[in-house]
Each structure stands twice: as structure tokens, then as C-alpha cells.
Amino acid sequence: GTMAEGCGQQGELALVGPAAGAPSCPHGPTLLFVKFSQGKEEGRRFYACSACRDRKDCNFFQWEDEKVSHTRLAAREEYNRSHQPSFTHRQNVERYKSFVQLPLSKRRFCQECQQLLLPAEWEKHSDHQFLCDISTAQLKSPSQLLYPLENKKTNAQYLFTDRSCQFLLNLLTDLGFRRVLSVGTPRLHELIQSKASQEEDFRVRSLLLDIDFRYSQFYTEDEFCHYNMFNHYFFGGEAARETCRKFLYEDNGEKVIMVTDPPFGGLVEALASSFKKLMAMWKETGKEGHDNKEMPMFWIFPYFFESRILDCFPSFNMMDYQVDYDNHALYKHGKTGRRQSPVRIFTNLTPRLIVLPVEEGYRFCAICQRYVSSGNQHCEICNSCTSKDGRQWKHCVLCKKCVKPSWFHCNSCNCCALQTHSCEQTDAGCFVCGKAGHKRSACPSLS
């Protein structure tokens, strides 16, 4: 599938995908894109960073047909090397062991370098802001200690609220899962880790795969892999890949689920391609009867990407549960007069097994055999609970489907839209919401 990126007037950008022999930037192998210019049939193909959509964060760019000199290749390798973290994961694990042995008064965390400091390093960071007396509790909740990298497009570290996190974990344990592959979900990983260390009978384990290397300061090599979910790249090479494989293979690959919460600006097709590779890794466990099964998965993403996710994973369904985030102004729980969160759980598990909390206003629809939000009324004509955003939607006979309550049928556009919409049909609708008049990057639903 292609991915249109808003490029203003220079034409459209589409993802071609991962390509064999693609050059690398500090974030691993680059992805191949194609740029269409106005009025030209053939687009020109180029490589760019898989993880950073913003040139300011990673300025890698190379035309596919470009000949790159040896000097430039050498310089690029040097650049990639120099842009790797200053400590290896193993060194960070050793540092942590020393850090935990220090008395409270000597436990410092440099806020500017986002790094645990050993006393010998204080001098070097003397003019930096730091936190003192780092408690064991703080070390056990690194997502609270580290500040979120709020560069929306690469890291978009919006962290689940405790309520959403607790709900997810309860759901996973009720479903009988024992191992969670946490891809870009540090809060969930943290909750699982802390419960495991506090409660005798708590049997769930988690492996965190995340692009944020800062977590390597707090977790061993069996608990964290530095991973880029846009190009399925393990920064720790074969050893890290092996850690992931071992984790999936345990108990013959039974009772394991992958939970992922990618940046919402992310390229759906690139993510899907990585997730399929993780699923394939699980399939190789060679267990009888895995052939036609998929590794269980929760993909947490806004509802307006539904059609694109289902294109990539036809076996998935979207649940009505609204996932909330702590540090995201828009995506917090409804009820407080604020917009409701558009973020949902997409899963290949049987919908009726996903029990949603009645006290938060979800109910079971016997006809659809799934839990829906209370405002989501079953439409007799569509024969399904059609609302996507928690409000009751209404059926349009002309469109032959249910639409948002605020929309009306426009005869000149021949579809339902807001009354205030402009009828000039632009050549193509937006890639995210399908509506006309704006490019994907300016989509109001991404806000």
C-alpha cells in the first residue's frame, strides 16, 4: 500500500517500503519513498529515515539512483557511529548495579543528559540540572523519571494513564496471557515488572522493545531491546533479535501476546510490515498447529486509521474501548468536557472475549457479540453497532451507511458532510479521514 504524506505543493509522497540494500542512517536501514511532482507520471524514488518524519530530527536523504562516493560513504558510516549512544546496553546494566549500591544521598540523575550518574561523574555534570536521592521506587518507574520525548512524529511518547494501563493488564491476565511483548509501551512494561517484583503469585512477564535507548539504564538485556518499529531493526544486532526470539519461543510460543502503541503520525504500512515480521518470528516456534494461527496482538491506534489497519490485517477488529494518555492534552478520558479519546484497540482476538468495564459505560451487544460504548446503538439497517467515536450515529439512506450525528447529506457532493463544508471537490481526499480539501499532514483528526 502507499502512504500519502502531505508535501504542500511539491506533489505527493508515498512509501514504497523496506528495500534490500537500503542505506542506513543512525536509526537503522532507511525506507524507500517515491515523490510525485505535479503533472509527471513517474515519481522519483529516494531513501529517507524510517523513524523521523521531520528533517530536523534526521536529515538523511538519498535519491535511489544516486551514485554515492566512497568518501561520502565513509563519512556517513562515521556519522552513524558517532550518533550511537555513549554507553552500550551492557555497560548501562553494570552502571545500574553500581548505582543501586549507592546510599540515597549519592544517587543522582542528570536531567539534561537523562542519565543516572555515578559519583565519579558528578564533576563533569556540575553545571547541569539534576535530581537527588533517587529512590528504588523511582528506579522502578523510569517512565515517570525520564521526561517524555514529545517530538510527535518519531517518539510521540504519550504514556497510558494508570487507568488504561491497569485495564490492559487486567484484560491480558483475564485472557490467560503470561508473556507480553511490549512494543513501544513502556508504562505497561513497567507495571508488569513492578507487579512481578512485588507479588509472589503474579506470573506475567514482559519484554520491552522501544526506540528510546534511555530505558537501557533501567532494564537488563532480557527485559529491554533497543528497537525501531518502523523498519524492524534491532540496534543490538543478532543478540537482541535472539532475546526477542527466545521470549516468543518460551512454552512453545503459547500464552504470548504482542501489545503495541506506535506514534500516531506513523506510517501504517511500515509498522504493519514490522509487526508481520515479529509475528513470523513467533510462527517459527515450529509448534504444531501454528500454521494457520496468528500471534495474538493488540495494536493501539486512533479509530480513523481503521480501514488502513484492516487492509494490512484483515483478521483484526476494532474494539470500542477508549485508551487514554497522561501527557496528551486531547487524548484524555471524556467526561471532563474535553473531547473523548479517539484511540482504540485493534485485535485479532475474538471480539466477545474482550470484556469492557460496565462501570465506564460499556455494554455487551448480543447481536454483534462484542462490547460497545453505551452511546453506540445497534443499527437495524447496517446490522451492526456503527458508532466509532462513542456518540450515537445516524443512518443515511442515500449513503447506505451510518454517519456522525453532526453530518448531513449534501446532494452536490453526493455524500454526508458537515453543513459548513465547502463543495469544491478537490482531486483527492485526505489519506487519514478520506475527506477532501486538505492533505494528510494537515488533517484535523490528527490535530
Please state the domain extents for the chain: 13-83, 89-134, 162-374
Query: Coil, helix or strand for 162?
Result: helix
- 435, three cell numbers: 475527506
Q: For residue 6, is pLDDT > 80? A: no
What pLDDT is stored for residue 447 in this prediction? 40
What pLDDT is stored for residue 160 in this prediction? 87
Query: Coil, helix or strand for 308?
Result: helix
DSSP 57-98: T---EEETT----HHHHHHHHHHHHHTS-SS-HHHHHHHHHH
Reference 248, options 225, 226, 231; nearest CA is 225
For residues 418 and 336, is the Cβ–Cβ distance under 8 A? no
Q: How confident is the model at residue 438 (pLDDT cuts 50, 70, 90)?
A: low
For residues 410 and 423, is the Cβ–Cβ distance under 8 A? yes
What pLDDT is stored for residue 444 in this prediction? 57
For residues 354 and 171, is the Cβ–Cβ distance under 8 A? yes
As a whole number, mean pLDDT of residues 193-203 equals 92
As a whole number, mean pLDDT of residues 302-313 equals 94
What pLDDT is stored for residue 152 in this prediction? 43
Give 439's Cβ-side CA count (13 Å radius).
Answer: 13
What pLDDT is stored for residue 433 in this prediction? 62
What pLDDT is stored for residue 425 in this prediction? 53
What pLDDT is stored for residue 437 in this prediction? 57
As a whole number, mean pLDDT of residues 313-333 equals 78
- 143, three cell numbers: 517512565
As a whole number, mean pLDDT of residues 361-385 equals 88
Give 351's Cβ-side CA count (13 Å radius).
Answer: 19
pLDDT of 223-274, one tens digit each? 999 999 999 999 999 999 999 999 999 888 889 999 999 988 778 999 999 9
CATH classification for the domain delimited by 162-374, as one of 3.40.50, 2.60.40, 1.10.10, 1.20.120: 3.40.50
Q: For residue 287, is pLDDT > 80? A: no
What pLDDT is stored for residue 147 in this prediction? 79
As a whole number, mean pLDDT of residues 146-174 equals 78
What pLDDT is stored for residue 385 in this prediction? 86
Structure-model confidence comparison of residues 48 and 10, the more confident one: 48
CA distance 393 to 407: 9
As a whole number, mean pLDDT of residues 343-353 equals 95
Q: For residue 213, is pLDDT > 60? A: yes
Q: How confident is the model at residue 354 (pLDDT cuts 50, 70, 90)?
A: very high
Q: For residue 317, is pLDDT > 60? A: yes
As a whole number, mean pLDDT of residues 413-438 equals 70
Q: For residue 427, is pLDDT > 60? A: no
What pLDDT is stored for residue 52 in this prediction? 87
pLDDT of 57-91, one tens digit each? 899 999 999 999 999 999 999 999 999 998 999 99
Which segment of 186-195, 289-298, 316-325 scores lowest on mean pLDDT? Answer: 289-298
pLDDT of 20-63, one tens digit each? 889 999 999 999 999 887 767 778 899 999 998 788 889 999 99
CA distance 369 to 333: 25
What pLDDT is stored for residue 370 in this prediction? 92
Q: For residue 190, is pLDDT > 90? A: yes
Q: How confident is the model at residue 379 (pLDDT cuts 50, 70, 90)?
A: confident
Reference 26, options 51, 1, 53; nearest CA is 51
Average pLDDT, the chain: 86
pTM listed for this prediction? 0.87
Reference 180, options 157, 207, 200; nearest CA is 207
Q: For residue 292, is pLDDT > 60? A: yes
What pLDDT is stored for residue 335 in this prediction? 47
Q: How confident is the model at residue 129 (pLDDT cuts 50, 70, 90)?
A: very high
